Amino acid sequence: MKLLHAFRARLCVVAMGAACLALASPVWAHHSFTMFDMTKRITLTGTITSFEWTNPHAYIEIDVPDEKGTVKHWSIELGSPSILMQSGWKFNTLHAGDKLTLIINPMKSGQNGGFLSQVTLPDGKVLFNGPRQEPPPAPTQK
């Protein structure tokens, strides 16, 4: 999923923070977003089961109850710790048991997975999946 992909001038990839470089020089992304639908954004509210501060990506594992109260588990991919630290994250920003609201780009496959766009922490603070570059489109409710 991490394609050696040449960025071009003004080519922007939203949300990862590794992106949107107004450069004339070739810079390689560590990641492409092919398996995620970057045109869709959905909101998940649930309880974290684990927060993995790891490379090449960090992950949020979260249990999300649906309208009927049935809990479904989701795996949410983030940028790497290095990229996240550039937008205010720390290794202990999240903990198992935290109740969160996430906005994600879902997987095209329809599986319960996605790429984080932003998270609202229990204290109301909003963090993004790397340095923000442009306003995101409005999310649709899950």
Partner 1 sequence: MNLKISNATLLAFVPAILCAQSASAPPDLTGVWGIYRGGPGAEASFRPPAPAPLLLKPEYAKPYEERRAKESAAAQRGEQLDNTSARCIPYGVPTMMSIAVYPIEIIQTPKQVTIISEAFSEVRRVYLDRPQWKIEDVAPGYYGRSVGHFEGDTLVVDTVGIKPTVSGYRGMPHSPQMRVTDRIRMLSPEILHDEITIDDPVVLEKPVTYTLAFKRMPADYEMVEFVCDNNREYVDEKGIVRLKLHDK
Residue in 12, 15, 34, 96 binding partner 1, rule: CB under 8 A: 34
The answer to whether 140 and 114 have CB atoms below 8 angstroms apart is no
Q: How far is the CB of 44 from partner 1 (least distance, A)?
A: 14
Q: How far is the CB of 124 from partner 1 (least distance, A)?
A: 27
Please tell me whether residue 54 binds partner 1 under the rule CB under 8 A: yes
Region binding partner 1 by CB under 8 A among candidate stretches 16-24, 40-48, 119-127, 134-142: 16-24
Is-cis flag, bond preceding 106, omega within 30? no
Instruction: Report residue 37: phi and psi, to 5°.
Output: -90, 95
Q: How far is the CB of 47 from partner 1 (least distance, A)?
A: 12
Q: How many helices (H) and strands (E) does the chain have?
A: 1, 9
